[in-house]
Structure 1
């Protein structure tokens, strides 16, 4: 069996595993690398050289710099202005999408989306807009913005490095801008004109209460004298139940403590505020002997008595009005007694309305103020993916209670300990305010709750901008290669305190680094084995009767389709050798072919799995898999129609 055939088998299995999604893409890529070594396709001594490749180092440096921008407050200054946009949907789309396009050009596009996602959720909540109308355009805008510069997206970095290995000269920082900016503007125009028509509106998903239907699940349960829970800690109670039903608060002697901070034993008379549906209620009664804090019939009786009293009081008030009018002999509102009496009645009515409203709220649910509930979305690189809450030991290791899980815009009804988390799941968590941010970062979750903007320190803000500007100038004037310039900027940011060292390491997206480090040697094997040349020859045979531009369009479409089913960085690694082989076969310049791969590999608009940005908004926006192509297909066609002429204009054949 020839080497090229073996490479095709390895790549076929790898692509199938990527599409299947059972195993994370970094593990799949590493398996492909090790399999290639064992088959003799990649020399053993060169197996891990990909991890030192300039593209990998550059991606890691860009991720650190992106976090430094966030930490210094650069992005929050922009976000603060975005929040002032008002309630018009067109203006919200314009400002949000334009902002993410610009930010994605100067930092990693996934990082730019992650920073503006909470801002978009806050806008949706403040102006009662469905977040589904904002989040998909925001995600697509981050992809378009990544096209504009070298550091905007990993495919650009990969293609630039590959050009350096072929021609001896890499693409520069703004080599992608002439094509990328025009494509981004065309895509932005389409989003603004058609997004509100093509993006499905998922009503009522903007708030925690709507997403998780919290009020219908919160109950107060009393610990009785004969309850099995009497004398148990909350941890022992969970062990007794063999369930992870979250205790949000413990009420004792009219004082309430959040569940994650209560470590004592339960006593008779304690009231537990719990998240429980009908099945859990029966389990709590049977196994722990817990009962409702107040009998339902008794409560209904009290409510009826209160309503009767209110009606009687209203009748007395009407009689008083009639007597007052008779006493004064006039209905003239200018009468001093009449004015005073009306004011008094008005105050009574307002007080009654207020009490009714408070009572109505009480009937709909339990007060959750001070319970420190936060929403967070599971990222594609999260350690939670394919694990359960029991395996992760959320409470013991991270101090977090899992309260509820929403998927595809609706709350999951199954028991919490049975749920295996997926990328894009929205979690309702409870935890200490000081530990929440660090725990979520470690778990790989992005908080979605309304956040207070942290404007950072003005000095660090200016320092961060200055460091980045110097790195860009060093790249523009060829003082330093991109990998060295950006790595130096990242190290300086850590040294001067713009970003703590621990956060610098957390900023590096481990799975993406492993994916690139593993797939680069596999991509080189596709070239050295003759597999890329074989694919190029097949395309050349098909394209002999057509102009070269038709083959270029075919390459663009093939790369775009591939990027919708596998990671965009992997698509760029695999398509780059094919692009160069095609260019050599036609005797044309490699630049337009490589640029076509760079643009198309970053335009994964058709599915939620092609790019992390698409996956991140799936849960918060309540999208289904089939929703993406409705806006994504027209956007892909616009990108194709604009990109090809611009590539040929800027990078002639």
Structure 2
């Protein structure tokens, strides 16, 4: 094997543990790897930048705009309102939830589907008396299963198909071709979730239950109208640097001063809300001029137009991961105050300022109304929702947004134009009709996913051009003893393992050239192996870190890692068995 091949292989091998075990984003890791390979001369500039001109990448980008138009117009909320209803049993509740989620995820990216459904499901679970943890993990898994039905279902399907047609245009697939395997896989998976899901998931306490009683994590005091604190600033009153507490908001004459600054002047009768430990009450009682509040109802239970109570799920890319809330100046950066932190279904005890955030932590925040819109697409948070219901209103243009998407699907299915052209036309119509503003479209583009895809192309090109892919293909053929069935199983198993540790797009794109070389060396059609890569990259049921929607439900559901292994392990085996049995029948070797 030449030196370039060794270098390419070494860089690729180093990339996977970096993405899996470091807090560096996958896009940064992969871009760094591409720059290194370019510097070492393993790839040329054209190969390094090839991903940025991929039809698959642009199709994904235009689909993000279409999905944003549906989200902005309340199109998903419209579906939720008509399908959930009032089922009479837990099994029927799961059917009412999982079937529409899987269907929607076959046409649009599953992340906004799950993000919109989570707050609705939390409210719905109370009405139908079904614990939320029995619904949230199946919700995520159903969205993943639905993504296997069409090429539009996941960005991975679009990207792998783009790689395929760039290599050989005669191998182009129709939008619903993979449904011959995807539908049976989804039916088996959904049946398993409905019948065995409730039995395999143990009782868990979600974030909603933890945050249910505001009195547990707040202390409220009043400014004595005759006391020494009147007309003093928060800083002068000694309320800025308390050890166990911090001042969240002030209620004054029926209005709220939220995210209180150090220069705010106190008035007699002000009702002060502090967050922190109960031990901090002793510290407050020692401050002259503060008296226990005389009102019975907690301030946080009241509805004020000046502030919102929101739940935010911390992303694994959040800049505060591993840092203490106080040290990172969370309040200053986001304009929101942390009231409580839920982790693994339990409230994190102790001084709030000293808590070090972890991925999937659920934060109860007090923030001004613009916070939700401003940070809804933030890389730091997977999900932001109002505590009292959905943050997205239903818009009168929802049906138009759905009609545009239906037109895109129809044009691509009938072959009137390519998937990329159809998605481009749909995105332009969404902007022209006002279903989506330019600003919303920009925010809706998941730049991390797009950069990850583009950079993955560079690594795939390095493996192929250096000869490393051919060498790995020969090794795989040797291990499979030249048997196409064994090779198919090995490809599926490898991609499933990689996608459980790192992003599914990177796992699929980097293994693609090895898979193609293996099929060519074996002298068989590459199609069964390409489709196996698509399905294996979507089989992210084993861990919460394997797929974004899993991480989104992890905190609100109060789950543990073992819960994903318990419910997702058998689901992984079932979907693999169905896919591996059907793929060679539809696409023979």
Using the size of structure 1 for normalisation, the TM-score is 0.82
8 Å contact kept, 2:372–2:384: no
Tell me the distance in 2 between the aligned counterparts of 1:415 and 1:24: 29
- In structure 2, the CA distance between the partners of 1:610 and 1:206, relative to structure 1 (3 Å rule), is closer
| 1:326 matched residue in structure 2 | none
Q: Secondary structure at the match of 1:564?
A: helix
| 1:503 matched residue in structure 2 | 440
- In structure 2, the CA distance between the partners of 1:247 and 1:489, relative to structure 1 (3 Å rule), is same
8 Å contact kept, 1:378–1:425: yes
Q: How far off is 1:474 after superposition?
A: 2.8
- In structure 2, the CA distance between the partners of 1:505 and 1:406, relative to structure 1 (3 Å rule), is same
| 1:451 matched residue in structure 2 | 389
| 1:273 matched residue in structure 2 | 273
8 Å contact kept, 1:202–1:622: yes
Q: How far off is 1:635 after superposition?
A: 0.4
| 2:191 matched residue in structure 1 | 189
Q: Secondary structure at the match of 1:164?
A: helix
Q: How far off is 1:554 after superposition?
A: 1.4
Alignment of 1:568-607 (within 5 A): 568-607=504-543
- In structure 2, the CA distance between the partners of 1:5 and 1:258, relative to structure 1 (3 Å rule), is same
Tell me the distance in 2 between the aligned counterparts of 1:148 and 1:380: 28
| 2:143 matched residue in structure 1 | 142
8 Å contact kept, 2:344–2:558: yes
Q: How far off is 1:602 after superposition?
A: 0.7
| 2:361 matched residue in structure 1 | 425
More displaced 10-residue stretch of structure 1: 116-125 or 226-235: 226-235
- In structure 2, the CA distance between the partners of 1:457 and 1:138, relative to structure 1 (3 Å rule), is closer
- In structure 2, the CA distance between the partners of 1:282 and 1:57, relative to structure 1 (3 Å rule), is farther
> What runs of 5+ residues in structure 2 fail to find an aligned partner?
none
> What runs of 5+ residues in structure 1 fail to find an aligned partner?
300-358
- Are residues 1:370 and 2:320 paired? no
Q: How far off is 1:240 after superposition?
A: 3.7
Tell me the distance in 1 between the aligned counterparts of 2:407 and 2:326: 48
Alignment of 1:105-504 (within 5 A): 105-169=106-170, 170-203=172-205, 205=206, 207=208, 210-211=210-211, 214-223=214-223, 231-234=231-234, 240-241=240-241, 245-252=245-252, 255=254, 257-260=256-259, 264-267=264-267, 270-282=270-282, 284=284, 291-293=290-292, 368-370=301-303, 372-380=308-316, 385=321, 389=325, 395-396=331-332, 398-433=334-369, 435-442=371-378, 444-448=381-385, 449-452=387-390, 456-458=394-396, 460-504=397-441
Q: How far off is 1:407 after superposition?
A: 1.6
- In structure 2, the CA distance between the partners of 1:390 and 1:516, relative to structure 1 (3 Å rule), is farther
User: Which structure has greater helix proportion?
Assistant: 1
More displaced 10-residue stretch of structure 1: 595-604 or 379-388: 379-388
Q: How far off is 1:389 after superposition?
A: 4.6
Tell me the distance in 1 between the aligned counterparts of 2:139 and 2:484: 35
- In structure 2, the CA distance between the partners of 1:239 and 1:3, relative to structure 1 (3 Å rule), is farther
- In structure 2, the CA distance between the partners of 1:146 and 1:225, relative to structure 1 (3 Å rule), is same
CA-atom RMSD, angstroms? 2.9
Q: How far off is 1:403 after superposition?
A: 1.4
8 Å contact kept, 2:285–2:291: no
Q: How far off is 1:461 after superposition?
A: 2.9
| 2:54 matched residue in structure 1 | 53
Tell me the distance in 2 between the aligned counterparts of 1:383 and 1:506: 19
- In structure 2, the CA distance between the partners of 1:87 and 1:119, relative to structure 1 (3 Å rule), is farther
1:262-318 CA-to-partner distances (Å, cap 9, x unmatched) read 8740145533122231343355567x6575516xxxx9xxxxxxxxxxxxxxxxxxx
Tell me the distance in 2 between the aligned counterparts of 1:237 and 1:481: 67
1:468-516 CA-to-partner distances (Å, cap 9, x unmatched) read 2332233234333222321221122112201111111111111111111
8 Å contact kept, 2:313–2:384: yes
Tell me the distance in 2 between the aligned counterparts of 1:496 and 1:150: 26
| 1:544 matched residue in structure 2 | 481
8 Å contact kept, 1:377–1:447: yes
More displaced 10-residue stretch of structure 1: 590-599 or 548-557: 548-557
Q: Secondary structure at the match of 1:480?
A: coil
Q: Secondary structure at the match of 1:188?
A: helix
Tell me the distance in 2 between the aligned counterparts of 1:215 and 1:118: 22
1:367-423 CA-to-partner distances (Å, cap 9, x unmatched) read 621253222223455566566655775545544222112122111224333344443
Q: How far off is 1:593 after superposition?
A: 0.6
Q: Based on CA coordinates, which of the two structures has the bigger radius of gyration?
A: 1
1:528-566 CA-to-partner distances (Å, cap 9, x unmatched) read 112221121112112226x42122111111111111011
Tell me the distance in 1 between the aligned counterparts of 2:527 and 2:238: 62
Tell me the distance in 2 between the aligned counterparts of 1:239 and 1:523: 57
- In structure 2, the CA distance between the partners of 1:639 and 1:256, relative to structure 1 (3 Å rule), is same
2:453 to 516, 523, 544: 516
- In structure 2, the CA distance between the partners of 1:236 and 1:70, relative to structure 1 (3 Å rule), is farther
8 Å contact kept, 2:75–2:398: yes
1:304-339 CA-to-partner distances (Å, cap 9, x unmatched) read xxxxxxxxxxxxxxxxxxxxxxxxxxxxxxxxxxxx
Q: Secondary structure at the match of 1:215?
A: helix
Tell me the distance in 2 between the aligned counterparts of 1:417 and 1:457: 40
Q: How far off is 1:643 after superposition?
A: 0.5
Tell me the distance in 2 between the aligned counterparts of 1:117 and 1:198: 21
Tell me the distance in 2 between the aligned counterparts of 1:62 and 1:392: 35
Q: How far off is 1:447 after superposition?
A: 2.8
1:223-257 CA-to-partner distances (Å, cap 9, x unmatched) read 469989654444777884077945344245x6453
Tell me the distance in 1 between the aligned counterparts of 2:132 and 2:583: 35
Tell me the distance in 1 between the aligned counterparts of 2:447 and 2:322: 17
